[in-house]
Amino acid sequence: MAVERTLSLIKPDATKRNITGAICKMIEDAGFCIIAQKRVKLTYEQASRFYAVHKDKPFYDEVCVIMSSGPIVAMVLEKENAIADYRTLMGATIPSAAENGTIRKQFGESVDKNSVHGSDSAENAEQEIKMFFNELEIIG
């Protein structure tokens, strides 16, 4: 399996509850290296660009409002098979459907407060990482 990089975001619902350290511990305990990390706050426009893939969905406006409602922690994670493995570690989008041992099972409160984001393909990982980090900020 190839070593991959993926973008992880700790969402505003989680930064508000002061659980960023607990989430990072789960990520590191699962074997991911955090090779870039910053705390940022998106504008509504930046969140809209980030979630543009969902622009025709009924929840688009709501998810953009939520993602720009407070600070987020953006990270680049590196590991073999990082993209799929981080999706597995996050768990299902709806926290009540997430498997035991996943971040969303442990910390997610609802579909719109599900605590974390993870890239869903190699192409999106590359694009999303570029939205948050330049080359100098990624130290593998």
The binding track of 80-119 with respect to ligand ATP, each residue x by CB under 6 A or -, is: -------------x-----------------xx-x--xx-
Q: Residue 3: what are its φ and ψ, rounded to 5°? A: -75, 130
Q: Pick from 110, 129, 111: which is nearest to 119 by CA?
A: 129
Contact with ligand ATP (CB under 6 A): which of 3, 25, 43, 59? 59
Tokens matching residue 96: 């009540």
- State in angstroms the smallest separation of the CB of 21 from ligand ATP: 20
Query: Which of 12, 14, 117, 133 is labelled catalytic?
Result: 117
Count of residues touching ligand ATP (by CB under 6 A): 11
Q: Is there a contact between 32 and 86 (Cβ–Cβ < 8 Å)?
A: yes
Measured between alpha carbons, how far is residue 20 from residues 44, 64, 122 in Å? 22, 20, 25
54 is catalytic: no
The residues binding ligand ATP (CB under 6 A) are 54, 59, 62-63, 93, 111-112, 114, 117-118, 120
The catalytic site residues sit at: 117
